[in-house]
Amino acid sequence: MTAPTDWPYPRWVAHRGAGKLAPENTLAAFRQGAALGYRAFECDVKLSADGVPFLLHDATLQRTTSATGNAGERPWNELSQLDAGSWHGRQFAGEPLPTLAGVAAFIQRNGLALNIEIKPTPGQEAVTGHVVAEHVARLWTGLAVPPLLSSFRPESLRAARAAAPQLPRALLIDTLWTGWFEMAASLGCVAVVTNHQLMDAALLARVHEAGWRAMVYTVNEPADAQRLLALGIDGLITDAVDRFAPAAD
């Protein structure tokens, strides 16, 4: 079996928006990436204490917001008041944490594609997968290209599949752990997203022979990008949005 031909996602994907040039996982970062010509974006989504899907990578708040503590323990009305921009630069002071709904509006208005990493608060793997998938299915109703849902946590992908089986899923892997291939198959994945250092010709062939697509993270050096493009990689997630021209898709 060869890789699927009906792959609607651009090859170059901006990591956490344009998360090195602007505060990661904020609309400011998405605007920056779009201004540089990117048409596909990756972001991290977790749940507030009252079940609102919003963008944040870490389990805790202190690295990228004005608060401290576990993000998943706070209700959205508190999270929505936080400053998620000042840590990156004074020009971003007051930039808020975005909801998934807010990002969906930006993506759809601008005709962009999205890869959502389901990033659960520890212990919330299944409920996060379920709620995120439900929201994505509703927010992208009737649109031709829904987001690709990815996660390192099989429990999250399993719950997402139960909630919205029509949405495409991808297993994230940072090592080739025993059973990863069988897990991706059992979850009905359409893609595998690996650490770029894992990807070689043999792994790419195995993924394509399964009928899946192969994506890699986080590709920031030109030599790595050239090697992977020569292999025939399907997607490269990058922080270096100002170094790589997405028109090279």
User: Are the C-beta atoms of 71 and 47 separated by less than 8 Å?
Assistant: no
User: Are the C-beta atoms of 104 and 140 separated by less than 8 Å?
Assistant: yes
User: Are the C-beta atoms of 58 and 31 separated by less than 8 Å?
Assistant: no
Q: Of 99, 125, 122, 106, whose CA–CA distance to 45 is shortest?
A: 99
Measured CA distances, 3 to 7, 96, 165, 169 (Å) = 9, 39, 20, 15
Distance, CA of 102 to CA of 108 (rounded, Å): 10
Active site residues: 15, 57
Q: Of 84, 75, 65, 160, whose CA–CA distance to 116 is shortest?
A: 160
